[in-house]
Amino acid sequence: MKVSIKVNGQNYTRDIEERTLLVHFLREQAGLTGTHIGCETSLCGACTVLLNGNAVKSCTVLAASADGTEVTTVEGLAKGNELHPIQEGFWEKHGLQCGFCTPGFLMATVQLLERNPNPTEDEIRHGLEGNYCRCTGYHNIVKAVQFAAAKMRGEAIAAD
C-alpha cells in the first residue's frame, strides 16, 4: 500500500506493507534513525514522536494509519546548528547518560511544555511518566525540563 507522511516538513511517499509500524517507516523508509526502537511494546517511550502535534509511541502506530499526517521526530527539533531549548536543557543539565531514551524524552517534553509552559517538578514527572530511563534516576531530566521551560518563557537562566 502507498502512504504519504510529512516528516519534519518533508513529504515521504512510500509503498509499504500494511503491518509496517510508524517507527520502522521513520527509520527504514525516511532514513531518520533518531527515533529509537526500545521495546516495541509501548513501555519505554524511546520511540516517542509528535503525530499531528501529539506525543505518541511510534511503535504502537501503524504507518498506514499515519497516512496524510504530519510527524515531528527528534531530527526536526534543531534549526540548523542551533539546538532547540529542550535539547539545550538536556545538554546543559546532564539530562542524559547513554542517550538511548533521550529522543523519546525530548519529544514528550515538547508536548509537556506546549501544554504547560511552567510545570512544577511533580507535573514534569507526571508528564514524562510514559518514558523510561535506565541510567539517570530522572533528577537531571527534571532539571533539564525546568531549564528548557524557563528558556522558552524567555527567562534568564541562572548558572549552577
> Of 12, 13, 3, 8, nearest to 61 (Cα)?
3
In this predicted model, which residue has the larger pLDDT, 18 or 135? 18
> What are phi and psi for residue 51, nearest 5 degrees?
-115, 110
pLDDT exceeds cutoff 70 at 150: yes
pLDDT exceeds cutoff 70 at 160: no
Name the pairing type of β-strands 2-7 and 10-15.
Answer: antiparallel
Task: Provide the β-strand partners of residue 33.
Answer: none
How confident is the model at residue 146, as a pLDDT?
Answer: 98
- What is the pLDDT of the chain when averaged over all its residues? 95
What integer is the mean pLDDT of 132-152?
A: 94
How confident is the model at residue 136, as a pLDDT?
Answer: 79
The fold for domain 85-152 equals DNA polymerase; domain 1 (1.10.150)
CB-based burial, 52-82: b 16+ in 10 Å, e otherwise: eeebbbbbebbbbebeebbbbbbbbbeeeee
How confident is the model at residue 40, as a pLDDT?
Answer: 77
How confident is the model at residue 159, as a pLDDT?
Answer: 62
In this predicted model, which residue has the larger pLDDT, 57 or 97? 57
Q: How confident is the model at residue 158 (pLDDT cuts 50, 70, 90)?
A: low
The fold for domain 2-74 equals Ubiquitin-like (UB roll) (3.10.20)
How confident is the model at residue 93, as a pLDDT?
Answer: 95
Rounded distance between C-alpha atoms, residue 70 and residue 30, angstroms: 13
Which segments of the chain belong to CATH 3.10.20.30? 2-74
Quote the percentage of the chain above a pLDDT of 90: 91
Which segments of the chain belong to CATH 1.10.150.120? 85-152
What are the tens digits of pLDDT across the range 27-58?
A: 999 999 999 999 878 899 999 999 999 999 99
What integer is the mean pLDDT of 104-108?
A: 98
What are the tens digits of pLDDT across the range 107-116?
A: 999 999 999 9
